[in-house]
């Protein structure tokens, strides 16, 4: 875990020398109090290289069956499940939330978390840790959506043509000519987030980790 007292020193390190994990969650809704994590995808970045072969992906088992034996908890918004092209039987056979959070925690130990739209994913992650009985490791967080907003502010300073800032990952990638990817797939979105980070870090001239936080 990166302790608070070490944050300043870590922020001064060259960002390419810091181990990062890009993470994406697929959820049944956007409210962490009511929604559930359905799938997790993670991929590491080291030396500005996306290590796809070392990635982690898992569905998350739903607790308790719906009436009729669908294998999904009554609290899950089924429209959200359908949006991610998941079948109830897939979720019923998946690892438990506790098991998945332990895998996330093992990878986040001493590393930097990379997400797109932290205000959405982080509340779900914190709740998942709490539900699993684990302490939130509070890693440094790089938010590619926040970096995109910073990039647009810099661009407007030299090219005053205002454009709407895309919040959706696919649209943000398209802004920089990155190819389309499989949306609503946690691992594909994690890789897509890592790729977007590399582009934004280059465009912003980031050298230290602090330049990206």
* Residue 164: per-residue pLDDT: 59
CB of 91 closer than 8 Å to CB of 75: no
DSSP for the chain, written as a single string: ---GGGHHHHHHSBGGGS-EEEEEEEES-S-TTT--EEEEEEEEEETTEE-GGG-EEEE-PPSSPPTTT-SS-TTS-HHHHHHTT--HHHHHTSPPHHHHHHHHHHHHTTSEEEESSHHHHHHHHHHHHHHTT-------EEEHHHHHHHHHHHHHHHS----PPP-SHHHHHHHTTPPP--TT-HHHHHHHHHHHHHHHHHHTT--BGGGG-
Q: Who's near 78: CB < 8 A, 6+ residues apart?
A: 28, 72
Q: What domains are there in the chain, each with its CATH number?
A: 4-211 (3.30.420.10)
Q: Say if residue 68's pLDDT is above 90.
A: no
Q: Say if residue 87's pLDDT is above 80.
A: no
Q: How confident is the model at residue 172 (pLDDT cuts 50, 70, 90)?
A: confident
Q: Say if residue 204's pLDDT is above 80.
A: yes
The rounded mean pLDDT for the chain is 82
Q: Say if residue 181's pLDDT is above 50.
A: yes
Give the tokens for residue 5: 């007292």
Q: How confident is the model at residue 167 (pLDDT cuts 50, 70, 90)?
A: confident
% the chain with pLDDT above 70: 77
* Residue 208: per-residue pLDDT: 94
* Residue 98: per-residue pLDDT: 94
Q: Which of 43-47, 95-99, 131-135, 165-169 has the lowest mean pLDDT?
A: 165-169
Q: Say if residue 182's pLDDT is above 50.
A: yes
């Amino acid at each position: 875990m990166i302790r608070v007292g070490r944050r300043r020193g870590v922020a001064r390190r060259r960002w390419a020398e810091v181990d990062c994990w890009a993470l994406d969650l697929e959820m049944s809704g956007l409210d962490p109090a009511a929604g559930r994590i359905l799938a997790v995808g993670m991929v590491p970045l080291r030396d500005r290289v996306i290590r796809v072969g070392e990635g982690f992906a898992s569905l998350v088992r739903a607790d308790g069956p719906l009436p009729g034996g669908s294998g999904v908890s009554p609290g899950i918004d089924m429209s959200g499940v359908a949006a991610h092209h998941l079948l109830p039987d897939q979720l019923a056979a998946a690892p438990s939330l506790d098991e998945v959070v332990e895998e996330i925690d093992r990878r986040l130990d001493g590393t930097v978390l990379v997400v797109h739209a932290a205000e959405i994913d982080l509340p779900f992650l914190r709740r998942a840790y709490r539900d699993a009985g684990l302490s939130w490791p509070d890693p440094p967080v790089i938010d590619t959506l926040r970096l995109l907003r910073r990039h647009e502010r810099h661009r407007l300073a030299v090219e005053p043509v205002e454009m709407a800032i895309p919040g959706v990952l696919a649209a943000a990638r398209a802004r920089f000519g990155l190819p389309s990817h499989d949306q609503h797939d946690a691992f594909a979105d994690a890789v897509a987030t890592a790729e977007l980070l590399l582009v934004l870090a280059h465009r912003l001239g980031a050298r230290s980790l602090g330049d990206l936080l």
